[in-house]
Copies of this chain bind each other. A is one copy, B any other.
């Protein structure tokens, strides 16, 4: 308890949950870490598909990057329309459910949940990779570092992040600044002629002999699509903007897309011109920065700010996942406790589940970004597609001014993201996307199973007109005892604090002991009847159960209260030395209707 207070802080009042309105500049910092941070790994993932096939294919990274920037433009336009239509926040779950119905809504929710987990795992793995690129000595400890990073983010989120967006502004703008500086330096080197495409002659010769497989290019494109994860985040947080909320949010989103496109295209171009080849222990961005800046302050600035923005990206999932889980819990698709705010005004259960699952992934995939990527983009693009399709349906039904133009925009969005989803799912299927494709229906089944259970419970406990308030019944109180001691007398004291029929019950396993107990009872029993039961099977439990069954038969309306004198040890491990019989009795009585158990604890002090 004290540990919890120290790590998580004191409880907060409901009234303290005030909404902070963000300026566009702060909002950009708060909401764009997820999207921008993908610059740290997207180019590398494209090269990791192309280069192992043939070095000569590296130049395909430029057209692929351009394709992805085109997709980014389409997505930004499509999402701007969602921002205006859902100013209260339009996540894929809400948009799909309200326009397309329950199944698409649940599909989007399942895809999103998987995504949040992967956002944390991928971002943390990439963040740690940024660090181990700069400090190679840490490379063998990357899994431990990844888990540590998740634990820290988890604790920060359990405390509740109420500290204002300024905390986010510093690393985000530092990252943007550092990368723009890198691109600027690259452009300068290029113009003064110090940089030119490094493609060895031998490779070019080799390329002629080789046909480029379309499948390979599509796989590279799929890998690059991870650059687009997180672009939708702003559309969830419209309420956090200053008025006019939607307009400010849309402008911020456009700004973010511009920065993202510039950085991504710039890094891809530089990687190509510098002839960077992906290495297991150094990231592409680190190689570019090292080649451009040498090992000075600027290099470490790039690596450090990359790490920070990636951790922020992981952090953003810790806001999104519990919010989604609580929305689902309110619709009874998740356990209701997911919608319970902890005493720090955060959805603690969701935060813990997200931390545990992403930590599990980090350990399973040994903090390797490249191994996690194939699982990542499928879910994101599936939820994009469902959102856009939902908007298409919305325009068709709702219409309104300029609905045709809006329909076209979202239509293009829906079609392109659907194509992208198909490409990603098929080209990455064998590399891990199958896991996600198997998981989504399982999660949907879980959602529906939970809801149908809650529905069944509501039906079973609801008071209908047919019911009448119950008529009063008798209650026979039994106190099973093994001898006479203070714990037993305490239970007797408790039992007779309310009037009614009370019987102490002793099972006779040793006639000498029984006689002794009967004598003591005369003195200490407070006038309560003592019933001695025979025990042919020397099973105390069996005799007690028989006796209880007998009463239940004889009194078909009565309650039976079994008051159990229980010794509560001072230390937890001492429990193994006590109460084994009480435990068995409780297990045996748990499913008996009309039998209610009451423990009267006797606290030991040593």
Answer yes or no: A450 CB below 8 A from chain B CBs.
Answer: yes
Q: Which residues of B contact A603 (CB under 8 A)?
A: 591, 593
Number of copies: 2
Q: Which residues of B contact A486 (CB under 8 A)?
A: 460-463, 467
Instruction: Report the separation of the CA atoms of residues A493 and B578 in the bound assembly, to the nearest whole angstrom.
Output: 33
Most buried by B among A340, A453, A569: A453
Q: Which residue of B lies closest to A341 (CB)?
A: B538
Answer yes or no: A6 CB below 8 A from chain B CBs.
Answer: no
Per-residue contact bits, chain A 530-559, to B (CB 8 Å; 1 contact, 0 not): 000000111100100000000000000011
Instruction: Report the separation of the CA atoms of residues A315 and B183 in the bound assembly, to the nearest whole angstrom.
Output: 77
Per-residue contact bits, chain A 566-606, to B (CB 8 Å; 1 contact, 0 not): 01110000101110100000000011010011111111111
Q: Which residues of B contact A467 (CB under 8 A)?
A: 486
Q: Which residues of B contact A13 (CB under 8 A)?
A: 536-537
Asked whether, in the complex, the Cβ of B485 is within 8 Å of the Cβ of A577, the reply is no
Answer yes or no: A213 CB below 8 A from chain B CBs.
Answer: no
Q: Which residue of B lies closest to A540 (CB)?
A: B340
Answer yes or no: A511 CB below 8 A from chain B CBs.
Answer: no
Asked whether, in the complex, the Cβ of A520 is within 8 Å of the Cβ of B463, the reply is yes
Q: Which residues of B contact A598 (CB under 8 A)?
A: 561, 596-598
Q: Of residues 146 to 189 in A, which have CB atoms within 8 Å of B's CB atoms?
A: none
Asked whether, in the complex, the Cβ of A523 is within 8 Å of the Cβ of B469, the reply is yes
Q: Which residues of B contact A500 (CB under 8 A)?
A: 497-499
Q: Which residues of B contact A601 (CB under 8 A)?
A: 590, 596
Q: Which residues of B contact A578 (CB under 8 A)?
A: 457
Answer yes or no: A336 CB below 8 A from chain B CBs.
Answer: yes
Asked whether, in the complex, the Cβ of A337 is within 8 Å of the Cβ of B15, the reply is no
Asked whether, in the complex, the Cβ of A596 is within 8 Å of the Cβ of B604, the reply is no
Answer yes or no: A202 CB below 8 A from chain B CBs.
Answer: no
Answer yes or no: A11 CB below 8 A from chain B CBs.
Answer: yes
Smallest CB–CB gap between A588 and chain B, Å?
Answer: 10
Asked whether, in the complex, the Cβ of B463 is within 8 Å of the Cβ of A494, the reply is no
Q: Of residues 322 to 363 in A, which have CB atoms within 8 Å of B's CB atoms?
A: 335-337, 340-341, 343
Asked whether, in the complex, the Cβ of B475 is within 8 Å of the Cβ of A604, the reply is no
With A11-B537, A591-B603, A600-B596 given, is the CB distance from A470 to B489 under 8 Å? yes
Q: Which residue of B lies closest to A452 (CB)?
A: B606
Smallest CB–CB gap between A482 and chain B, Å?
Answer: 10
Answer yes or no: A472 CB below 8 A from chain B CBs.
Answer: yes
Asked whether, in the complex, the Cβ of A497 is within 8 Å of the Cβ of B475, the reply is yes
Asked whether, in the complex, the Cβ of B577 is within 8 Å of the Cβ of A536, the reply is no
Asked whether, in the complex, the Cβ of A457 is within 8 Å of the Cβ of B11, the reply is no
Q: Which residue of B lies closest to A491 (CB)?
A: B596
Asked whether, in the complex, the Cβ of B463 is within 8 Å of the Cβ of A484, the reply is yes
Footprint of B on A, CB under 8 Å? 11-15, 335-337, 340-341, 343, 450, 453-454, 456-457, 460-463, 467, 469-470, 472-475, 477, 484-487, 489-490, 492-494, 496-500, 520, 523-526, 536-539, 542, 558-559, 561, 567-569, 574, 576-578, 580, 590-591, 593, 596-606
Give the 3 A-B residue pairs with the shortest CB-CB distance, closest first: A475-B497, A461-B485, A470-B493
